[in-house]
Structure 1
């Protein structure tokens, strides 16, 4: 993992959840200062094919909060991406488990999107694939709720005190 590498959002096919997470986190970081503002955010899927279009409902759900992800194209999660990443952020425990089983080495900062929420909060973000728009909007809202805690975690990875 690289201290200057991207934060990677991970889901299954990289066409629903992880593109939404990428767009939301990128938007949140743009409003930060210092090293957080310059973090790169990308997304990938553990079972993704290259070049698939993002789901229409994902685009619509984010467009409703002023974020455009229409140009996103899917990509598979590779060992090279993992090796270059600052952090790998998964939507579900199954994604994290698969990375634990297949990555060599396992990334030290491998977490769930909602992992930094208060105790008792759901940790996983369910796959909305094939569901109606309100399910995608709920998925988006679960991510929006978790963004502040995720940003605080990322700040610990890039803070000047940590670099010493």
Structure 2
């Protein structure tokens, strides 16, 4: 099943950057969310994307949004990635790819790489934007633009 604009974001759980249990029910319905799936920590495109979200994180916070990054990397990898690039937002470890499947994120590049997809939800948990592109830098302005439209 692939999520579409207008669908409710599904509930999911995962380990966060600090190894704590993250439950989406704690944030869905309380604030605007930017949930982005990316292929791998410490790769050029993923690092550029994470750093762009970092550099504009205050813009997201000012609009009342929270940013959550998800990949199949381990908690230890996320910790290292977060520390190295001083990422202020949550990274979730989806090692069994259950969350990726729940959202219907397809693999990119002929099925070789995990897909790069950003979802933006409103405060009720309804998806208002889906951006599916391997062009890492384009995700941040698209997400900000969609959030500004609902303000």
TM-score range, shorter chain: 0.3 to 0.5
More RCO (CA 8 Å, sep 6+): 2
**Which structure shows the higher helix fraction?**
1
Structure (1 or 2) with the larger CA radius of gyration: 1
| TM-score for both structures, normalised by structure 2 | 0.43
**Which structure shows the higher strand fraction?**
2
